[in-house]
Amino acid sequence: MVEVSHDFLKPVLHRDAVMIDATLGTGRDSAFFLRKARRVIAFEIQPETAARCRQAMEDPRLEIRVENHTGIRELDPALEADGVIFNFGWDPAGDRQVVTQPEDSLK
């Protein structure tokens, strides 16, 4: 399914694109976006997972926010994202007790 979602987003991914990875996890989607995008904003609810990704993907175009993806509402209203991805799963090395709740995602 990851490949299907990436294929779906390829048409909006370009060198000036602003992409949002609403569920960073292991960073696979953000890494895909960074191949072309100008800016990637990623949300991760688990601080340890966010820290691992930040260390593994040192890229000034990547902004990792350690918070639930409901924080999307707090982004600059003038920001126009070209694409957003929600990949609901979990980081196998992360804390499975700290997860996004369905009611938050529905908001």
Q: At 21, which amino acid appears?
A: D
| pLDDT, position 43 | 96
CATH architecture of structural domain 2-106: 3-Layer(aba) Sandwich (3.40)
Please check whether residue 28 is in contact with residue 77, taking contact to mean a CB–CB distance below 8 angstroms: no
Coil, strand or helix at 75? coil
Pick 56 or 89 by higher pLDDT.
56
Q: What is the pLDDT of residues 39-62, one digit of tens each?
A: 999 999 999 999 999 999 999 999
Residue 77 has pLDDT above 80, yes or no: yes
| Mean pLDDT in residue range 78-98 | 84
Please report the beta strands in the chain, taking only residues with DSSP state E, as ranges in sequence order.
18-21, 39-44, 62-66, 83-85
Please check whether residue 13 is in contact with residue 36, taking contact to mean a CB–CB distance below 8 angstroms: yes
In this structure, the number of other CB atoms found within 10 A of the CB of residue 86 comes to 14
| Overall pTM > 0.85 | yes
| Mean pLDDT in residue range 67-76 | 92
Domain ranges of the chain: 2-106
Element (H, E) at 105: helix 102-106
Coil, strand or helix at 81? coil
Q: At 102, which amino acid appears?
A: P
